[in-house]
Copies of this chain bind each other. A is one copy, B any other.
Amino acid sequence: MRDDWTIVEHQFRAETALAYEGLFTLGSGYLHLRGSLEEHLPDAPQNLEYVRRPANVTSECFPHAKARWGTYVPGVFGPHPWLNAEMINLPWPAGITPIVDGEILDVETGLIEEYRRELRLDTATLLRRLRWRTKTGVLVALRFERFISAARPHMLVQRMKLSADRKAQLTLSAGIDADVRTNGYDHFREMRFAPLGRSGLSAAVRTDSGIRVELATRMYAPGLKWEYAPAPRAAALLASTTLPAGMEVAVEKRTAVATSRDLTPRAATDWLSETDRQTFAELHAEHARCWEQRWERCDVVVEGDQQAQRALRASLYHLLRAHVPDDARVAIDGKGYAGEAYWGRYFWDTEMFLLPFFLYTDPPRARTLVDFRVNTLPGAQRNASRYGYGGARYAWESDADGNECCPNWQYADHEVHVTADVAYGLAHYARATGDDDYLRGPAARVVVETARYWMQRLDRRPGAEHPCLLGVMGPDEFKPISNNNAYTNRLVRFALRLAAEVGPAGGATAEECAAFRQAADGLPIPRDATGGLVLQCEGFDQLPDLDFERFWKDRDRTLASQVSQERLYRSRCLKQADVLMLMLLFPDEFSAAELRRAWDYYVPITTHDSSLSPGVHAIIACRLGLTDAAQRFWDRAAAIDLDVARGGAAQGIHISNAALLWQMAVLGFAGMKTAMQSQVLSFQPRLPESWSRLSFPVCWKGGRVRVEIGRAQMSVTNVGDRPLEVCVGAATHTLPPGLTQTWPLTAPARQEQTS
Contact = CB atoms under 8 A, between A and B. Distances in A.
Contact of A471 (B51, B82, B570): B570
Interface in A440-476: 459-462, 470-471
A569 B387 CA distance: 13
A462 B53 contact: no
A402 B70 CA distance: 42
Contacts of A461: 542-544
A178 to B, nearest CB: 25
Contacts of A543: 461, 470
B51 A544 contact: no
Interface stretch (A558-566, A573-581, A694-702): A558-566
Given A51-B82, A53-B82, A82-B51, A388 B542 contact: no
Contact of A564 (B413, B459, B542, B567): B413
A7 interface: no
A414 interface: yes
A459 B566 CA distance: 12
Interface string A608-640: 000000000000000000000000000000000
B462 A566 contact: no
A81 interface: yes
A51 B54 CA distance: 13
A387 B570 CA distance: 14
A280 interface: no
Given A51-B81, A461-B544, A387 B566 contact: yes
Contacts of A563: 388
Nearest to A460: B544
Given A459-B544, A481-B570, A543-B470, A564 B387 contact: yes
Given A551-B388, A565-B409, A570 B470 contact: yes
Identical subunits present: 2
Interface footprint category on A: 20 to 34
Contacts of A91: none
A685 interface: no
A410 B461 CA distance: 25
A541 B572 CA distance: 24
A480 interface: yes
Interface in A574-603: none
Interface in A47-61: 51, 53
A15 interface: no
A270 interface: no
A282 interface: no
A413 B470 CA distance: 22
A108 interface: no
A545 interface: yes
Interface string A369-389: 000000000000000001110
Contacts of A471: 566, 569-570
A551 B481 CA distance: 21
A410 B551 CA distance: 21
Contacts of A572: 462
Contact of A470 (B82, B388, B544): B544
7 contacts: A51-B82, A387-B566, A387-B567, A388-B563, A459-B570, A460-B544, A471-B570
Given A387-B566, A413-B565, A459-B570, 19 more contacts: A51-B81, A51-B82, A53-B82, A387-B564, A387-B567, A388-B563, A388-B567, A409-B565, A409-B566, A461-B542, A461-B543, A461-B544, A462-B542, A462-B545, A462-B572, A470-B543, A470-B544, A470-B570, A471-B566
